[in-house]
Structure 1
Amino acid sequence: MERRQAVVTGIGILAPGGTDREAFFQSIVNGASGLRSHEKLKKLGVRSEVAGSVDKPCLEIDEDQRIVEMAFCALDEALGDSGLTRADIGKLGVRAGLSLSESAPGHIKTMQYIRKLGEGSVDSDRLIGIPSLLSNLVSYLGIKGQAFTTMSACAAGTAGAGIALDSIRYGRTDLMVVVGAEPLSDNYIAGFHSLQSMSIKGCVPFDKDRDGMSLGEGVAVLIVETLDRARQRGAHIYGELLGYGLGNDAHHITSPDPEGEGAARTIWMALDDAGLQPCDIDYVNAHGTATELNDLMEMSALAKVFHTEKERSQVTISSTKAVSGHCLGAAGSVELVATLLAVDRGIVPPTAGLQETPEQFQGLHILKGYSEKRDIKYAISNSYAFFGNSASIVVGKV
């Protein structure tokens, strides 16, 4: 079967550091961190007070509806960027679909219910009514084709984009709206606090003195369509989704395989799917959480894939989580936006705040200090998650 080419023609984003794609890209290029002391963490009294949040006046005050409003804002930006309207999506009928990535739908509503239960203010034992972000987005866009949610923890955003790629290239749809969405919520804050994995000062991936990850929140939206359709419309093309890999290291519920075997396999799968070799890759947007175990694992995986001196001199690596924080289920989507904008603009963003890498990382070119101007023909974005999940996606310049 001939595989159709899938390209990105629209981008919308709200994330720490920027509430539109231009502001977001400028923040990651300039290493301007969106991490701040956050009232929610202060109130909970956890180990760290630092997190990344989206500051936009138009968002609903109601915490439960906030992520829906964020998603609508990002959708409107992405549609306007692509030159499409919601009516255009509706007219495509079953040829348009929606891919949504998040960690645990309805968790804010669940936490509200638990609090009321503890206070004795719940009227009945009826099932919790959890509003579905998926149903809100489907209704907002008039999607009549396939619509699904990917929930592979922090690898979800990258996995959701890859599955959407398959939908287009194998002819099931002509256009996919790809969304990653995650709010900053109490249960995630408490969970990472219990793991003692949150940074006191703000995460700095790959730094010798790193002390952990920082939570973030955000919504990223991509309009993905066939290359033929994009060219017929005269749309701007940010890049092509060329291939992806999904895997699991089957090692531990929270700790990755320190040798990086599972992560390396996933990168190889993505390269094979794209028909490329390691020597073809110019840029890797690393998962880079700034935790001791994840950074070690990812560097081990990249060293396995880029194992020759020539390959290592060719590829530039950076993590943008020092600006955005870890957006969990939306992390892969936020970082895919960063990767596509890097390819489109020919600029590699640095790892913000990085001063010195540990000795075992120094065989690879991890960008620090300032952004790097270069022609990026092919790039990879990596995402790793609890339960051993891994996902990698390859993008290229058209």
Structure 2
Amino acid sequence: MRILITGVGLLSPIGNSFTEFSDSLRNGDSGFAPITAFDTTEFPYDRGAIISEAPDAFEAFVANRPGWETAQHYGAFCASRALADAGLSSEDLDPFRTAVVVASSNAGVETNQAYAEQSLAGTLETGATIVRTPGTVAASIRSEFGLRGPQASVSTACAAGSNSVGLACDLIAAGHADLALAGGAEPFSMLSYSGFTLLKSLTHDALRPFDELRDGTGLGEAACMFVLESEASALARGASVYGEVAGYGLSDDAHHATAPDPSGRGAELAIRQCLEQAGVLPADVDYVNAHGTGTRYNDVMELTALRSVFGDGLRAIPVSSTKPLHGHTLSCAGSIELLACLAAMDGDFVPGNFGLREAMSGFEDLELPTRTLEDHRVDVAISTSFGFGGNNTCIAVRSFRPPA
């Protein structure tokens, strides 16, 4: 069964629509700016990719749901935008046949942090909420649209955004749902910022994936939700199609809590599974949107894995990370970077590795463009995502041509 993407809902530091996001990727517009939400004096880096210009409709959406956290607002709003983009309303959905699969790591962090701060200060009110979990985002979407079908909350770290889309495709293919809302919602968090600082994973200068002098990642926030449906369903209602989710792969390193397996064997397995499920040969891939975090270990592991899969053919395939523009959005990374693949297919371009000045030693022969490649036909693209705990995901999208 062919699973198609027919709707997109987006909030990001570089645009809140498919067109705005695509234009920013093409132009190399960065969403990084000084962090104002908390004091960064003691941190090595004072910038983040923050959603600074949300549409007026989002402000009204938030005002009407005062008891929700940011992640809930982000996820449900983007789900509503994705449905509208797909030409659907809540009345069009079969509540028992619509799946919801959402990735989030920081959903609940605002409540949890407030509880901890009040407890330490001795100002905790009787009956205060102790904890909220990442599952609140999927629950809010189901509540918003009255959905009672399959649902899942995916928290496989930075692989979750792709994982959520793959799982949603599985639910449709297995006959458990006719349509799915899937993606990720990740707000900016002082807790994550502190954690990455303690892990010595934050850059001190700038996010530069695959650069010889890279020294860490830079965090961002985003929410990106997709409408997924079968080819038969999309064609029957004359839906516009962004692309086909051709395949995906999952694996685990079983190596370390945070560091990737330097051999890249787990990542390689996920990529090979993805290509096999998609029925795609390595030579058929036109673009690789890499996880590319800008950290010392991840970038070497990733290019090692890609070289193992593609061999010498990798030299002819452009590989780029778009994180220097929208930041590392953690559990939403796979979703927003899948969107980057769709943008590349739609616009016949490949985003550059903005900020890359000197390619990593041992990988100078690869096609790591430092600027946008124009007039580059993309029919098949893959997006790789790797997370803490050794979680590896690869997802492939293919341009869609309706049957004659």
TM-score by length of 2: 0.92
- Aligned mates of 1:256, 1:374 — CA distance in 2: 32
CA contact (8 A) 1:35 1:202 kept: no
Deviation at 1:353, TM superposition (A): 1.9
> Is the 1:96–1:143 Cα contact (8 Å) retained in structure 2?
yes
Cα distance in structure 2, aligned partners of 1:267 and 1:237: 25
SS at match of 2:354: coil
The CA deviation at 1:125 is: 7.7
SS in structure 2 of the partner of residue 42 of structure 1 = coil
Please tell me whether the aligned partners of residues 67 and 183 of structure 1 are also in contact (alpha carbons under 8 angstroms): yes
CA distance in 1: counterparts of 2:354 and 2:270, whole angstroms: 26
Shift of 1:129: 4.8
Partner residue of 1:135 out of 114, 136, 139: 139
Q: Which residue of 2 aligns with 1:276?
A: 280
Q: Structure 1 residues 352-361 or 182-191, which shifts more? A: 352-361
Q: Which of 210, 213, 232 does residue 209 from structure 1 map onto? A: 213
Decide which moves more: 143-152 or 202-211.
202-211
Structure 2 residue runs of 5 or longer lacking an equivalent are: none
Select between 56-65 and 367-376 the one with higher mean Cα deviation: 56-65
Alignment of 1:22 with 2:24, yes or no, is no
Work out whether residues 184 and 224 of structure 2, in 8 Å CA contact, stay in contact via their aligned partners in 1: yes
Structure 1 stretch displaced more, 234-243 or 120-129 = 120-129
Per-residue deviation at 1:137?
A: 0.6
1:54 aligns to what SS in structure 2? coil
Give, in angstroms, the shift of residue 43 of structure 1: 4.4
Aligned partners of 2:273 and 2:374: how far apart in 1?
Answer: 28
Q: Does 1:182 align with 2:179?
A: no
Secondary structure of the 1:361 match is: coil
Alpha-carbon deviations, 1:58-106, whole Å to 9, x = none? Answer: 44498963232222332232122111112212xx232211111112531
- Residues 297-321 of structure 1 show CA distances to partners (whole Å, capped at 9, x for unaligned) of 101111111113xx22432111110
**Structure 1 counterpart of 2:320, one-letter code:** S
Match of 1:117 in 2: 119
Q: Does the CA-based 8 Å contact 1:354-1:369 persist in structure 2?
A: no
* 1:174, distance to aligned residue in structure 2 (A): 1.2
Counterpart in the other structure of 2:348: 346
Cα shift at 1:127:
5.8
CA contact (8 A) 1:154 1:329 kept: yes
- The question of 1:324 aligning with 2:326 is answered yes
Match of 1:363 among 340, 365, 369: 365
Partner of residue 44, structure 2: 47
Query: What is the CA deviation profile of residues 137-193 of structure 1, one whole-angstrom value per residue up to 9, with x for unaligned ones?
Result: 101122221011111011001111111111112222111111200111111011001
Residue pair 2:14, 2:20 contacting (<8 A) in 1 also: yes
Contact 1:33 1:323 in 2 (8 A): yes
Amino acid at match of 2:22: F
* Cα deviation, residue 361, structure 1: 1.8
Taking the aligned partners of 2:144 and 2:333, their CA distance within structure 1 comes to 23
User: 2: distance between equivalents of 1:149 and 1:16?
Assistant: 24
Preserved CA contact (<8 Å) 2:289 2:383: yes
Which residue matches 2:69?
Answer: 65
SS of alignment partner, residue 78 of structure 2: helix
User: For residues 7-49 of structure 1, what are the alpha-carbon distances to aligned partners after superposition, in whole Å with 9 as ceiling and x for unaligned?
Assistant: 0011111111112221111111111111111113534632210
In structure 2, relative to structure 1, the CA distance for the partners of 1:63 and 1:204 (3 Å cut) is farther
C-alpha deviation, 1:205, in angstroms: 1.0
Alignment of 1:255-274 (within 5 A): 255-274=259-278
- The residue identity in structure 1 corresponding to 2:341 is T
- TM-score, normalisation: structure 1: 0.93
1:383 to 356, 373, 385: 385
1:7 aligns with 2:4: yes
Q: How big is each residue's C-alpha offset from its partner over 1:109-154, in whole Å with a ceiling of 9 and x where there is no partner?
A: 1111111111111134876152722221101122221011111011
In structure 2, what is the equivalent of residue 300 of structure 1? Answer: 304
TM-superposed deviation, 1:52: 0.7
Picking from 292, 295, 307, the partner of 1:291 is: 295
**Residue of structure 2 equivalent to 1:227:** 231
Counterparts of 2:361 and 2:38 in 1: how far apart (Å)? 34
